[in-house]
Amino acid sequence: MAAGEENIRVRIPTPLKEKWDAAMDGRKISTQRALAEMMRWMIEQDPLTQAMIFGQVPETDRVELSQIVLNRLAAGRKKKAG
CB 48 within 8 A of CB 68: yes
The length of the chain, given as a count of residues = 82
**Per-domain boundaries in the chain:** 12-44, 48-82
pLDDT at 27: 95
Question: Given this model, what pLDDT does residue 82 score?
Answer: 60
Model pLDDT, residue 59: 80
pLDDT value of position 58: 82
Count how many Cα atoms sit within 13 Å of the Cα of residue 43 in the half-sphere of its side chain: 5
Tens digit of each residue's pLDDT, the chain (82 residues): 678 888 999 999 999 999 999 999 999 999 999 999 999 999 998 888 888 889 898 888 778 887 888 888 888 877 667 6
